[in-house]
Structure 1
Amino acid sequence: MLNNYLDISPEVRAALDAGKPVVALESTIISHGMPYPQNVETALNVEQLVRDSGAVPATIAIIKGRLKAGLTRDEIDYLGKTGHGIPKASRRDLPVLVAQGRDGACTVTTTMIIASLAGISVFATGGIGGVHRGAETTMDISADLEELAHTPVMVICAGAKSILDLGLTLEYLETHGVPVIGYGTEELPAFYTRKSGFGVDYRLDTPEELAKAFHVQQQLGLGGGMLVTNPIPEEYSMDPAVINGAITRAVEEAKQLGIHGKETTPFLLAKIKDLTGGDSLDSNIQLVYNNARLAAKTAVALCALEKG
């Protein structure tokens, strides 16, 4: 039945059949993350970095109602050119978009779902969603957190976006039994910056250690995913005072304009980009590259473990 809805590209299918490492990549960053043609250039660069690090990239999206694990260059270009004309697709959107034969840019949540359906265990992204500031009254909590609790995919990111309430995000993940791993750090990175003031559950220092922890999690039948937080490289980390000031101003403007739900994150990121003179976008791109390299190395190590 799944073949009625899921298309796995020939390159990704061949890698999976041969037991070779594959890394899932999201498509929201292409359609909603940055302007054309920079979005397409970045997506293709990320795919090449994954290949250069020994794995096969599988960019994930919904195109004409088909769940896609692995895109062609033309499909990536289509997502980039169409931009915001393609709806962001979370778990709740999947059945309607597929049933109506529509397109969808995959968030962390839907990328995890489709990756798992395709048999892909490692996923690289920029940052995850989480508990939004003021969620104690708005109940605005990203579906990414719930997906991490249920879907067996390792998500490698630069931490939760610092537009969020990081403390409540960590509490939510703890409640749902999601391990939060710091790669080479004991402190949760805050997307644009390497430090947040909040600790992670465990520090691991090599891709092999990451792979083994995830492998054991799955062998024990614990279910759910694993969150690996990989700090942005030092040379691209932003001044905390500058980025936090921009975030505070952007959050206040979003409140004044009544922006909420799935429109919140794109608005905040665009506003922060404007307030920082584009520096936040440059940092965003570099942290995605950094996560793609680590994800590929971890996928290589995981394949070696699974082969015994």
Structure 2
Amino acid sequence: MIPIAYSAEVAAARETNAPIVALESTIITHGMPYPQNVQTAELVESDVRAAGSTPATIAVLDGTLHIGLEPEQLLQLGQANDVAKLSRADMAACIAQGGNGATTVAATMIAAHMAGIKVFATGGIGGVHKGAENSFDISADLQELAQTPVTVVAAGAKAILDLPKTFEVLETLGVPVIAFGQDTLPAFWSRTSEIPAPLRMDTAADVAQAQLMRAAMGVSGGQLICNPIPANDEISVEVLSPIISQALTEAEVQGISAKDVTPFLLGRIFELTKGRSLDANIALVRNNARLAAEISIKMQK
């Protein structure tokens, strides 16, 4: 039997068949410092509520999979040390051993699907890391999108990745990649990139219908909705490119690899942009949460 617990708010939503939006927890434990991590998580949850849906932040605490966190649990997670970063490979082991873990995109998708939640908001997905032709460093998020029927709303893939290769792999895996309201794919902190969008949709209703049709056809997997960061909050590609290159070089020199790469790079980019990247990150996550809430409402109807 899987040890699973629902917050009071999520339990009530399930009882009334109300719309729910899943939220990941690595942004709390590995994405931002305390207390900004907890404040941001609270803001994102408030955005989902204000848009008419119910937030369900997902994490593993003392071996129990929590679908939705109570305020004191969110605070506990935000201040905790040595919290595991969970993906498909190690989520079950963490639960079985009574551990604590924050869920990545892949793990959150698994938990959301178990709980019957169809929509998930995050910042950016993982993907193909630069130099993957040598390191084979490719996020499990991509395979998860191909097999787990959850609509993921993100600002594209994280800008530190090899974006063309990431979207090429998604195409190979048969994952619908949908730009929301524009013809090019966003690049996380930047609204646009040089990569044309394979698909474009302009309304939450169209996004919801696409996932429902996919399920009706018996086609496995979810879909990735690439929602551009608000214009007032973006950092241009011209500004970011040399900063990302510098951070990547430092990571290579220091021998940083595997799950440590992304937190290191995001930390260095925060330092090199004098905090602008964190402000942009918060803005794009909140923007994604609002869109995800709209989609969840349309999908439930």
TM-score range, shorter chain: over 0.9
Deviation at 1:239, TM superposition (A): 2.3
SS where residue 141 of structure 2 aligns? Answer: helix
SS in 2 for 1:71: coil
- 2:162 matched to 1:150? no
Matches within 5 A, 1:212-251: 212-251=209-248
Kindly indicate whether the alpha-carbon contact (under 8 Å) linking 1:8 and 1:118 is maintained by their aligned counterparts in 2. no
Partner of 1:302: 299
Match of 1:82 in 2: 80
Query: Which one of the candidate residues 134, 155, 161 is aligned to 1:164?
Result: 161
Equivalent residue number for residue 58 of structure 1: 56
Alignment length, in residue pairs? 301
TM, length-normalised to structure 2: 0.98
Matched letter for residue 104 of structure 1? G
1:199, distance to aligned residue in structure 2 (A): 1.5
Q: One-letter code of the match for 2:155?
A: A
Residue 6 (structure 1) aligns with: 4
Superposition RMSD in Å: 0.9
In structure 2, the partner of 1:93 is: 90
Structure-2 separation of matches of 1:44 and 1:255: 35
For residues 167 and 145 of structure 2, the distance between their equivalents in structure 1, rounded to whole angstroms, comes to 12
> 1: distance between equivalents of 2:173 and 2:9?
35
Q: Structure 1: state its 5+ residue gaps.
A: none
Distance 2:198 2:11 in 1: 35
- Structure 1 position 235, deviation (Å): 0.3
Cα pair 1:155 1:225 within 8 Å, conserved: yes
Q: Encode CA deviations 1:145-197: one digit per residue, 9 max, x unaligned.
A: 01001100000000001110111101100111000000001111000001121
Alignment match, 1:33: 31
Q: CA deviation at 1:16?
A: 2.1
Q: 1:119, 1:251 → 2: CA distance?
A: 38
Q: Residue by residue, what CA displacement relative to the aligned partner does 1:248-276 show, whole Å, maximum 9, x if unpaired? A: 00001111111111111000000000000
Shift of 1:91: 1.1
Partners in 2 of 1:172 and 1:21 — Cα distance?
Answer: 31
Q: Which residue of structure 2 lines up, in the alignment, with residue 275 of structure 1?
A: 272
1:203 aligns with 200
- Work out the CA distance in 2 between the residues paired with 1:257 and 1:146: 29
Shift of 1:13: 2.3
Q: 2:177 aligns with which of 154, 157, 180?
A: 180
Provide the rounded CA distance (Å) in 2 between the counterparts of 1:103 and 1:173. 30
CA distance in 2, matches of 1:25, 1:94: 16
Q: Secondary structure at the match of 1:32?
A: helix
Preserved contact between residue 211 and residue 299 of structure 1 (Cα < 8 Å)? yes
- Give the gaps of 5 or more residues in structure 2: none
SS in 2 for 1:177: coil
- Residue 286 (structure 1) aligned to one of 261, 275, 283: 283
Residue 71, structure 1, aligned to residue 76, structure 2: no
2:11 counterpart SS class: helix
